[in-house]
Amino acid sequence: MKKVQVFWGTTLVLLAAGAGGAAPETFTVGTATAERGRMAAGAIRVPAGSDAGYDIPVAVIHGAKPGPVLAVVSGAHGTEYASIIAVETLMGTDPRPAIDPATLSGTVILVPVVNLASFDRLTPHVNPIDNKSMNRFYPGSATGTQTDRASLAMTREVVEKCDHLIDLHGGDLDENLRPYSYWTVTGNQQQDDFSKGMALAFGLDHIIISADRPKDPNASRFLENTASTRGKASITAEAGRSGPVDATDVTALVNGVRGVMAYLKMIPSGPKPVANPIWIEKIVTVAAESDGVFHPSVTRDAQVRAGDLLGTVRDHYYRKIADIRAPEAGTIMFVRALPSLKKGDTVANIGVARK
């Protein structure tokens, strides 16, 4: 076997041309070992420590032909359902494989739900076992709580074994969100050009330029950033909102993954890349200054001017506590979907487009 370095971080593993044929080459993630041209399902084991361990579901689709390794992960937040259903859809085999290993070039690693406890207990934002967000503690630690140990298992089994990663999210239970992707700028021009191509290939028409992510691979915090700081061009994308699974959102995410697979030449063709996306260069987060009952005045994707009313905070007697106004003009990337409001909660994220 010889390894050929192509692109930046993309490693093609080529079979040695041996007489008599080598044993079938396999690809293993956690307990899932797929032979060439096959799919296998299994689990990434998170060992017990100061709290319980658990198994993260994973599928490996090992293409018949050589090519890059693409990891697609969702469910760091286990109530961002559209993204979870999108990855599970990509695992489907009935009536035909969503991703056919017989014709695939390369390997796809699919992880639909990292934060199983959140999914099981309908807990937004955090892992209810240790109250930590499962997209803030990468690259993880063997001695921390469940989120730290799960993050380390994901780093070792998924990030280190892939060439490119797509981390899927969506509006959580309290977020009425319009779809968008993130393009992370690392400062490595070649890698950034390549990941920009991935974001365009994913097809969502709003792309947030993310230039403030940590540069240290040992303090990478986010899953996608754990791959990006290891030289692996990667993106994050979000679709879905506040609970119900909308088929439009699932389709956008599934088509996005297919678009990136076509860009990576893993499949011969895919959905068209987005032609003229809106590049968001700044996100203005508006936070609540008091507890109360939130009454939104805008919906997702609305265009607001500085000073426009975003919503009103009332008490349980319907008395007004405060009006909340937009500090800057922009697009409502998401607005709070639920009336429950605590001081410090995000009321809205406003995206400011690049001029």
Where along the sequence are the contacts to Zn ion (CB under 5 A)? 77, 80, 169
For residue 185, give both structure tokens: 């700028």
Q: Is the peptide bond before 66 cis (omega within 30 degrees of 0)?
A: no
> In the complex, what is the shortest distance from the CB of residue 135 to Zn ion, in angstroms, rounded to a whole number?
6
Strands 26-29, 32-35: pairing is antiparallel
The 3-state DSSP class for residue 189 equals helix
Dihedral angle sign, alpha carbons of residues 153, 157, 158, 164: positive
Q: How far is Cα 121 from Cα 189, in angstroms, rounded to an integer?
A: 42
Q: Is 185 exposed, middle or buried (0-12, 13-18, 19+ CB in 10 A)?
A: middle
The token duo for 165 is: 């990663």
DSSP 8-state assignment for residue 16: -
Nearest to 98 by CA among 79, 113, 114, 112: 112
User: In this complex, which beta carbon is closest to Zn ion, that of residue 77 or of residue 164?
Assistant: 77
Angle of helix 247-263 relative to helix 81-90, nearest 10 degrees?
Answer: 50
Q: Give residues with Cβ within 8 angstroms of 100, minimum separation 6.
A: none
Nearer to Zn ion by Cβ, of 75 and 101: the residue is 75
- At closest approach, how far in Å is the CB of 79 from Zn ion? 9
For the bound state, the minimum distance from the C-beta of residue 80 to Zn ion, rounded and expressed in Å, comes to: 5
Nearer to Zn ion among residue 223 and residue 313 (C-beta): 223
Residue at shortest CB range from Zn ion? 169
Cβ proximity to Zn ion: between 39 and 177 the closer is: 177
Q: Which one, 148 or 192, has the nearer CB to Zn ion?
A: 148
Secondary element (H or E) of residue 248: helix 247-263
Task: Give residue for tokens 């230039």.
Answer: 211
Whole-number minimum distance, CB 133 to Zn ion, in Å? Answer: 8
Q: Which is nearer to Zn ion, 61 or 113 (CB)?
A: 113
For Zn ion, the closer of residues 136 and 305 by Cβ is: 136
In Å, how far are 12, 28, 158, 275 from 40, measured between CA atoms?
21, 9, 15, 36
CA distance 284 to 110: 32
C-beta closer to Zn ion: residue 262 or 338: 338
Shortest separation between residue 173's beta carbon and Zn ion, angstroms: 11
Nearer to Zn ion, 169 or 221 (CB): 169
Task: Report, in Å, the least distance between residue 74 CB and Zn ion.
Answer: 8
Q: How far, in Å, CA of 151 to CA of 141, rounded?
A: 7
Alpha carbon distance 312, 348 (integer Å): 12
